[in-house]
Amino acid sequence: MQGSSRVPRRALVVGLAAVALLGVVGAGLSWRWFVRPPVDGPVPADAIVMFGGAGDRFGKTVQLAEEGYADVVVLSDPDEVGEPFTAYGFFCRNTPYDGYEPHDYEAICFDPATHTTRGEARFVAGLARERGWETVNLVTTTEQATRARMMLARCWEGEIHSVTVATDLFRPARILYEWGAMARAVLERRDC
């Protein structure tokens, strides 16, 4: 009788150790991928690319363009059903609006075929190949940086420099979302 109670206790200890190990690994990966991902900062590039999402990506993208990091700005600007205008159409048309003055660099707005990071990566990769680009600055939120860079690298062999902005949403929820999106990118969508 005493021997049979040891097996469940041993199984419980092994199970708890496995859960603790998964927790430590999960926390470490969360820190590395979503809280403090490797970022390069901006460099002189062929283009500044902004993927869609939370945070002041647009403000950072415009700042980099105004500072002269590239002569081309590429903005993910999906058409929203029922909306008469896109969010950044005024900017790509070079029309003054809400404190933004006309600019002397090219701005390209695009509606990705699928409103996903993968759809954005595919569009940007095609444009980069068409124009012979070698280097881009990719503007995303901190939480999305690792996955966005990975998705673009799968579609294009050029040099990608990550520039991040803080998210304006509840960060733990963003990290949980990114875990799901990263799992899908790694397990299901492993190509461009």
Instruction: Write out pLDDT tens, residues 77-87.
Output: 988 776 666 88
Global pTM?
0.80
Give the class (CATH, top level) of 47-187: alpha beta
Q: Which of 29, 5, 17 is nearest to 178 (CA)?
A: 29
- Place 120 in a pLDDT band, splitting at 50, 70 and 90: very high
Which are the contacts of 1, defined by CB distance < 8 A and separation ≥ 6? none
Q: Domain-by-domain residue ranges, the chain?
A: 1-36, 47-187
Confidence class for position 130, pLDDT limits 50, 70, 90: very high
What tens digit of pLDDT does each residue of 12-32 get?
666 666 676 666 566 666 666
Residues in Cβ contact with 141 at an 8 Å cutoff, skipping those fewer than 6 apart: 53, 54, 55, 57, 164, 165, 166, 167, 174
